[in-house]
Amino acid sequence: MALEKLGTEIRREQIVEAALSLIAAQGVRRLSVAALARRVGLVPSALYRHFKSKQEILDAAVQLVQRRGLDNLKEVCASTPNALERLKLLLMRVIKMIRELQAMPRIVFSEGVSADHPERKRQAYVILTGFLSAIEGIMREGQERGEVRTDLDAKTLAVMFWGMLPPVVILWHMSDGAFDVTRQAERSWELFSEAIRAR
């Protein structure tokens, strides 16, 4: 018996937060409606009052993570016009986010969320390429402003910038948080920024 009845807005939030929390602890694969309900303090069937299906819950969790990612991007671009500064800030923001919102890496890398359904996969691809386009935009601006080398392909650079994250994320997870993501990110950034800085 739930302690009280709550409106659907509040419950939906609780459910999504519970999902993120459980995903962080156990991964997407082991996320069950039963565990979710327990976490929120309801019975499993109650969740269907607020979401049509388990997949809808997952979708909502993905969107939340995505929104936070985009927020980071916006804040970073608003804080400085310098391309390299932006990129560094963004990198550090994302690293921070990985540490705090631990479900994020699991969601991003999980095939349970997107990769086994054509439409969702396409959507995820659109989101990812959108992110890469934004990075690419920063690179181009940097090139126009004389901050970034112009003899390098901005798109390639965007992908490489992104490439600083997965190894860090994976090692962090596999080592149960023992791997020093911040240091690795900083060092990677140093080398990368030195390599792409205009001369």
Q: Which residues bind a copy of itself (CB under 8 A)?
A: 26-30, 106, 109-112, 115-116, 121, 124-125, 128, 152-153, 156-157, 159-160, 162-168, 170-171, 173-175, 184, 187-188, 191-192, 194-196
Least separation, in Å, of the C-beta of 18 and DNA? Answer: 13
Residues 8, 79, 129, 182: which binds DNA (CB under 7 A)?
8
Per-residue interface string for the shown chain with DNA, residues 34-73, x marking contact by CB under 7 A: x-------xxxxx-xxx--xxx------------------
From the number of C-beta atoms within 10 Å of its C-beta (0-12, 13-18, 19+), residue 190 rates as exposed
25 binds DNA (CB under 7 A): no
72 binds, among a copy of itself, DNA, none (CB under 5 to 8 A by kind): none
Q: How far apart are CA 33 and CA 43, in angstroms?
A: 9
127 binds DNA (CB under 7 A): no
Minimum CB distance to a copy of itself smaller for 51 or for 192: 192
111 binds, among a copy of itself, DNA, none (CB under 5 to 8 A by kind): a copy of itself
From the list 194, 62, 192, 199, the residue with the least C-alpha distance to 135 is 192
Minimum CB distance to a copy of itself smaller for 42 or for 154: 154
196 binds, among DNA, a copy of itself, none (CB under 5 to 8 A by kind): a copy of itself
Type of residue numbered 101: L
Residue numbers of the site for DNA (CB under 7 A)? 1-2, 4-8, 11, 30-34, 42-46, 48-50, 53-55
